[in-house]
Amino acid sequence: EHEAEERQIEVEIEDGQAKVKIEIGDTKSKFTLETTDKNAIIEEVAKRTGLSVEDATNLIKFEEEDNGEIEEEVEIEKTNEENSTGGK
């Protein structure tokens, strides 16, 4: 019995670039692509790893960082209790 080799592909999208980190078995590689097009990234990963596009698609984890624009501000609604204390 042989263990399935570890296969992991992480893509971090930031500032118009995709930073790709690939680990397949003992082979590790990193590269940066000047694109944020997920299909283009998947095709490039498939080309560089010899994986099929389908396998690459299943393995890739995309992490997008848009300088905090997507993160929603939760603290906006502070309750108005400070203003509504009865002045006795």
**Separation between Cα atoms, residue 60 and residue 13, nearest integer Å:** 12
pLDDT band of 67, cuts 50, 70, 90: low
Looking at residues 65-88, what average pLDDT do you find?
51
Question: How far is it, in rounded angstroms, from Cα 34 to Cα 59?
Answer: 21
Tell me which residue has tokens 């263990």: 3
Q: What are phi and psi of 62, to 5 degrees?
A: -95, 135
Residue 76 clears pLDDT 80, i.e. is over it: no
The pLDDT of residue 66 is 60
pLDDT tens digit sequence for 17-61: 999 999 998 989 999 999 999 999 999 999 999 999 999 999 999
Predicted local confidence at residue 13, as pLDDT: 94
